[in-house]
Amino acid sequence: MKIAFYDTKPYDKPSFEHYGALKDMQFRFLETRLNEDTVELARGCEAVCVFVNDTVNAAVIDRLYELGVKVIALRSAGYNNVDIQHAFGKIHVVHVPSYSPYAVAEHAMAMLLTSVRRIHKAYNRTREFNFSLNGLTGFVFHGKTVGVIGTGKIGRIFIDICRGFGMHVIAYDRYPAPDSGIEYVPLEELFRRSDIISLHCPLTDETRHMINAEAIGQMKKGVILVNTSRGGLIDAEALLEGIKARKIGAACLDVYEEEADIFFEDLSGHILNDELLSRLISMPNVIVTSHQAFLTEEALNNIAETTVNNILSYFEKDGCCDNELCYRCGHIDQCRHQRKEKCF
């Protein structure tokens, strides 16, 4: 079985080669991302494996279908880069719903601690033998209110971590977790009460730019924003204006809306063409990491194992896979996906 593996990075190969060899799979590792110009590289493959910055739009899906590709296997939980409705009836789409929620939640807290206690600034100073403490004053987390938007697995683990610091947690979710002991509040109240706001929800048409100028205007002066989910949740221009106006005290960003041509690449010898990102990075109270929250040995191993099993499920179980994305065909009473049957 041949699988075209797009947007390959060195850390991807070991785990996928290991699990692929166990199942007699041949991964065609490609450094380029999937888009309309590179889709032809999947010729002769039964499946493609894609990541968050690959473009899987209608045109790409149609060409993959013409090439005989049966499965699009996302090695991520999010799928906002895939037109799953257009794929219905043509190609099955599977994802990795949970590969290491602890990794992402821990990274969110690591960024928050680094920002609040100025650890990154102290590190740079002491390397130059500057041991001054001026400008490094932080604050304690104990007793502060953290607002968590999205209470899936990652959000709930982040909540547990915050409670360990003695923080008061409030949350917003369109679908509250029953019997979770979480204090759910309306989104406007979360904005108004929170000292820290952390985003752990998917990017959809409803959540795109949920953090915008209006939302920032409702927040406390000095609020800290943390985003380890998807860049499009935050209007970056509104964020920058909020920082300049001293409304936002700090921002910890592992994702960025226009990251596709920037993150995961070494651009240290180039001029960054994204002026907005350049200005954000230049701010002394902004920390940016390049979508690395997931990057742990445990997560990479889980991603590879689940992705390989997802592909095998299609070819060995008559097209049935527990991790296939629901296409919302509209037939609620006769949903084949809910009956654990092949969708089409």
User: How far apart (Å, rounded) are the C-alpha atoms in residues 107 and 96?
Assistant: 19
Handedness of CA 87, 88, 91, 96 (dihedral sign): positive
Options 92, 95, 107, 291, the catalytic residue: 291
Catalytic residue check, 230: yes
Let me know if 28 is a catalytic residue.
Answer: no
Here the tokens at position 343 are 């969708």
Tell me the chain's radius of gyration from C-alpha atoms.
21
Parallel, antiparallel or unpaired: strands 2-5 and 26-29: parallel
Give Cα 150 distance to the centre of its chain. 13
From the list 33, 75, 257, 259, the catalytic residue is 259
Catalytic residue among 230, 257, 324, 337, which?
230
23: tokens are: 């199942």
117 is catalytic: no
Active-site residue list: 230, 259, 291
